[in-house]
Amino acid sequence: MYTIFVVEDDQPVRDELLTLLSHNGFEVKTSDDYANMVEAVLAAAPDLLILDLTLPEVDGQVICREVRRQSTLPILIVTSRDNSLDELICMNQGADGYITKPYNPPILLAHVTSLLRRTYSDTGGPVLMCGGVSLEVARGQVSYGGKTVDLTKNELRILHLLMVRKGEIVSRQDIQNELWQSDEFVDDNTLTVNINRLRTTLSTVGVREGFVQTRRGQGYLIEE
Amino acid sequence: MRLTTYLKERSFFIVMSVCIVVLFTAVLAFNGVHPLAIGGSDLAVLIAVGLTIGVDFFRRRYFYDQLDMLLEELDRKHLISEIIDPPGFLEGDLTYEALQGVSRSANEEVARHWRMTEEYRDFIETWVHEIKTPIAAANLIIENNYNEVPTTLLPEISRIESYVEQALFYARGMNVERDYVIRSESLETLVKGSLRKHSRTLIESKVTPQLDDLEFTVYVDNKWFDFILGQLFSNAAKYRRRDGEPAFLRISAELLAPGSAEERVVLRIADNGVGVHPADVEHVFEKGFTGENSRGRGRSTGIGLYICKRLCEKTGLDIALESTLGEGTVVQVTFPRNKLHFVEAKDNSHERPARA
């Protein structure tokens, strides 16, 4: 399990960010000792750093530069400063990604996953479990009852979203949005086709018919 | 200043001088002075009068012609008193002083308004950055409490976001400073990035993007360009067709005049929406313009395309819109490939005035 360190001074955003990340299978750490933030980050030895720029006592760019000087861990800047100059400075000071608030949470997660995958040329990665079905996200494989099958990119995305939100109805728009985040700009009809393919693939390893449930007019659901 | 006009102005003095010479001659002749002496004195007086008028004329003409010419040529005419020299004759000096007074007060006024605008813009920028944090929090709260929050809240937050962006880029578009960074970017990466970012707008309104070949390099500021694309996407969503036919947004690009000085990449964003009324097409980039279509489709501020146009002008891009009513709209953004284009980008209209 990857550990992500979050530096963000706005309490509500920080709390929600931590919740979002832990929902998605990451371990999270944070600190609000801004004067000694660099030491705190290095001591926690996370796999990735999410860093806000506008902070009390110290500027995020300074933290970025200092952390980079002493570590190679990936740094993702998440800030409301959205001019190109700030972005350029941060990237030159060793940041690996730059997202501006307010962001689409799936975009943030996509950046995090992609940075982790690139940095650690992922072999393990999070494994999601539900009703005997286990999903190895990094490999794009799903296993059930000892049998394993490869998923296509779209099938993986859909199943991943449904399993992260297991027990909740996920709307068609949200699944579409998730696919769009990997440059698959599918329309409504193609989504139905994709869902049906996912069900077919799942049935090849013996997952029961009703694992991915359809809720008419609402979306899809995998029960806990 | 013409000689005849000047002479007309001086006619009283000239007539009086002539009268005096005549009178003078008569008196001298009556007293039996030698005609040659009379002629000599008359000539001397006339030369003196002529010289006075001549010198005066040229001095005045020099000052007023210069004033005229400078007023003609100066961009900001209120700065006239800074350039012109005091003329050195009474009326001229009086005029000069009055001019200086007017000029000074105009400059102060301009500078005051300049400061006010600048302060206001700074405030907008700060405010926009502040409000982004709570919007980010709201987005995260919705994501984390997925089934407890009504999904209809999401598009509303999107709309708040997009209006906030508009305010920011309006302030930026009006800004005189070049606070953008032009870099070479892949058009494909930019378009896909913007589609990801503005996905909600298009998904909610069921507009499907279709991407053709976009593998071109363009010189832009990625943030500004993302804003422009966002506006175009949101227009495509707002003015989509609603007759049951699938709505699409076809995005394509081509390289024109390769190898020449006019080499350029043209990005075409075509929808099959309701289109724009022919009479409205030429006005769509005007500030505050809301055409036939906007009515009945929710509020329209008529500011989005105006800001797009301003941002394009500032970074040397060209934006144009064509439309067939009922069939769709095509927006073309042209990127000159000449790397110097943004150096030449004309933006003289909003230069910073001199401080008083």
Decide: B168 and B211 in contact? Cβ < 8 Å.
no
Q: Between chains, do B181 and A169 touch, taking CB under 8 Å as contact?
A: no
In B110-227, beta strands by DSSP E: 183-186, 207-211, 217-220
Q: Which two tokens stand for residue A124?
A: 């393990």
Residue B343 has pLDDT above 60, yes or no: no
Percent of chain B with pLDDT over 70: 92
Closest by CA to B29, choosing from B38, B41, B19, B20, is: B38
Q: What is the mean pLDDT of residues B102-108?
A: 90
Residue B292 has pLDDT above 70, yes or no: no
Q: Between chains, do B221 and A84 touch, taking CB under 8 Å as contact?
A: yes
Which residue out of B203, B221, B251 would a mutagenesis test of the A interface target, given it has the greatest number of A Cβ atoms within 10 Å? Answer: B203
Closest by CA to B136, choosing from A20, A178, A104, A81, is: A104
Decide: A5 and A41 in contact? Cβ < 8 Å.
yes
- Global pTM reads 0.74
A152-193 confidence digits (pLDDT tens)? 999 999 998 898 888 888 889 889 998 998 889 999 899 999
Q: What is the mean pLDDT of residues B325-345?
A: 78
Chain A residues bordering chain B (beta-carbon distance below 8 Å): 10, 12-13, 16-17, 19-20, 23, 54, 80-85, 87-88, 100-105, 107, 165, 168-171, 173, 176-177, 180-181, 183, 185-188
Q: Measured between alpha carbons, how far is A111 from A98 in angstroms, rounded to an integer?
A: 9
Given CB atoms, is B109 within the 8 Å cutoff of chain A? no
Question: Taking CA atoms, what residue in A is nearest to B192?
Answer: A183
Domains of chain B: 3-108 (no CATH), 180-344 (3.30.565.10)
Closest by CA to B228, choosing from B148, B144, B332, B156, is: B332
Chain B contacts of A181, Cβ < 8 Å? 196, 199
Dihedral of alpha carbons A156, A158, A160, A163, sign? negative
Domains of chain A: 3-120 (3.40.50.2300), 127-221 (1.10.10.10)
Mean pLDDT, all residues of chain B: 86
Burial B310-339 (b: 16+ CB within 10 A, else e): bbbbbbbbebebebebeebbebebbbbbee
Distance from CA of B158 to the nearest CA of A (A): 10
B219-240 confidence digits (pLDDT tens)? 999 889 999 999 999 999 989 9
Given CB atoms, is B125 within the 8 Å cutoff of chain A? no
Closest by Cβ to A185, choosing from B134, B195, B246: B195
Q: Measured between alpha carbons, how far is B114 from B110 in angstroms, rounded to an integer?
A: 6
Distance from CA of B240 to the nearest CA of A (A): 15
B166-194 confidence digits (pLDDT tens)? 888 888 877 766 678 888 899 999 999 99
